[in-house]
Structure 1
Amino acid sequence: MDIKTTLASQIYSQTRTVAKPVPQDTAVRSAGQAFEAAASDFMATLRESEDTVKAGLAGRADPQAVVEALAATELAVQTAVAVRDKVVEAYQEILRMPV
């Protein structure tokens, strides 16, 4: 089998799962549930990356997996910092409002 067709079929299957419609009852979540889900995803990313880096240092993981784990961690931390900055900015804006 051609490598390009295998890659195309993998990408297509991933796209199908992402584009699948979400049932209405699970689509509507409160802000607290959304924040909790984001925080747990952030922590899961950090744990997985830490485990991959530990395995890489022990010689059980290939260097590419370690680099990908570090890139995922960097992206997660940058996202968390951006969210924190927006929250602080919103808080400061609320403080500037006249009472």
Structure 2
Amino acid sequence: MDIRASLASQQYAASRQAAQPTSNNEQKVNSFTGVAQDFAQTLQNGEQTAMAALSGDADPHALVQALAQTELAVETAVTVRDKVVEAYQEILRMPV
């Protein structure tokens, strides 16, 4: 058996799996999960930096930067929540 043919079939199988389309809902769930995990990680990093600053282990500049990132993440989450609630209320106002 030709080794090149074997390698080619293995590469084809690997690339075929990577190129398979995923459903639109699956992509939305994956992206939402990623965003939620990033949000939680940002909050956790800010909390860890604040705890380190209280014990004197963190640089004040790092604390300010972590708190700014946390504030931005929370403001973004609140804005998204407000938009979702507004859209829901608009749907409820639609005549049937």
What amino acid maps onto 2:95 in structure 1?
A: P
Deviations 1:16-54 (A, max 9, x none): xxxxxxx9779x762222111111100000001100110
CA–CA distance in structure 2, aligned partners of residues 25 and 42 of structure 1: 29
Q: 1:17-32 alignment to 2 at 5 Å?
A: 30-32=27-29
Q: 1:38 to 1:47 in 2, by over 3 A?
A: same
- Is 1:80 the counterpart of 2:77 in the alignment? yes
Total equivalences in the alignment: 77
1:36 to 33, 40, 51: 33
Task: Show the counterpart of 1:14.
Answer: none
- Is 1:50 the counterpart of 2:76 in the alignment? no
Task: Structure 2 unaligned segments of length 5 or more: list them.
Answer: 1-17
Percent sequence identity over aligned pairs: 58
CA–CA distance in structure 2, aligned partners of residues 85 and 94 of structure 1: 14
Q: Give the TM-score of the pair, scaled to structure 1.
A: 0.70
CA–CA distance in structure 2, aligned partners of residues 51 and 66 of structure 1: 9
Task: Show the counterpart of 2:58.
Answer: 61
Task: Show the counterpart of 1:93.
Answer: 90
Displaced runs of 4 or more, over 6 A:
23-26
CA RMSD of aligned residues (A): 2.1
Task: Structure 1 unaligned segments of length 5 or more: list them.
Answer: 1-22
What amino acid maps onto 1:60 in structure 2?
A: D
